[in-house]
Amino acid sequence: MMPIPSSVRTQTNDNAIYSVTFSPNGQVLAWGSLDNRIKLWESKTGKLIHILYGHGDGVASVAYSPDGATLVSGGLDKQIRLWDPTTGIQKAALSGHGEYITAATFSHDGSTIISASYDSTVRIWNANDYLPQATLSGHAGPVFSVACSPTGDTLVSGGLDQTAIIWDYEQRTKRHQISGHTKPIECVGYSNTGQMIATGSGDGSIRLWDVQSGALLQKRSRHRTGVKCLQFSNDGKWLATGGNDATVRLWQLPALVERHILKGHSNTVYDVSFSPDNQWLASASFDRDMHLWKIT
């Protein structure tokens, strides 16, 4: 059983924080915020390392490449930007989406960048020359979240149309379109094995699905006013979720049993991120705070 987590540090921003992530080595925390900026912090000390300027509107998503050499960000300015996190220098800016970018991440091997947008598409970009490779169309409305399997064979996206689509990564085709939620799917994610995905929705429910069959495995409803974010721990034992109810919840897998409710935020929790060693959890909120929780 996980001991009761405690908040060990709170860092406050000038505006709402939309996204947060640990670097692959766990030494840096990056966040993107409504004030158009990305900030990089030493995770142990909270010392500010860099402020990254370039987006012309809020930063909805930040993610590291698997080797930690590049940070990708997606913004409400319809731009994807690539950064050197060591120097803070921008490497490239990618254009192509016609509306807000809601999510941007790397593939399992770092060879491609996957993005999702209000323009109803998921796009795949070459991470070396930054050229577009594919546009995936299947959602009947804005796409709010996208994730790549750790095994590299599938992608999953979720959106306003209340469905999640599991895509074949190599063929760029639809494998399953999952339905069951009664409000938009706000967040999606893969387990560490890539065999299971989680979806979180404005209907307040978290659902676990089998990737191969698309079958529903588990369903729980605890965030009464909607789920905004989720992430599996790297050891596959836990799922963290954040919601409009200003709470972070920790669920034990595979049974999806709620074990802890973390309180401290005063507004919607937009993102959560486990450290690579699973000892820490970062949560980012519209209340302008980032909480760092000790969980083991």
Domain boundaries in the chain? 6-294
The upper half-sphere exposure of residue 250, i.e. CA atoms within 13 Å in the direction of its Cβ, equals 26
DSSP 89: -
Rounded Cα distance between 215 and 206, Å, is 14
133 to 112, 153, 158, 210: CA distances (angstroms): 9, 16, 20, 27
Select 6-294's CATH number: 3.20.20.70, 3.40.50.300, 2.130.10.10, 1.10.3720.10.
Answer: 2.130.10.10
pTM here is 0.95
Per-residue pLDDT tens, the chain, 296 aa: give them. Answer: 676 787 788 999 999 999 999 999 999 999 999 999 999 999 999 999 999 999 999 999 999 999 999 999 999 999 999 999 999 999 999 999 999 999 999 999 999 999 999 999 999 999 999 999 999 999 999 999 999 999 999 999 999 999 999 999 999 999 999 999 999 999 999 999 999 999 999 999 999 999 999 999 999 999 989 999 999 999 999 999 999 999 999 999 999 999 999 999 999 999 999 999 999 999 999 999 999 999 88
Residues 250 and 270 sit within 8 Å (Cβ to Cβ): no
Rounded Cα distance between 116 and 99, Å, is 10
* Strand 257-263 relative to strand 143-148, pairing: unpaired
The residues facing 290 across adjacent strands are 11, 284
- Residue 97 has phi, psi (to 5 degrees) of -70, 145
Helix (H, G, I), strand (E, B) or coil at 1: coil
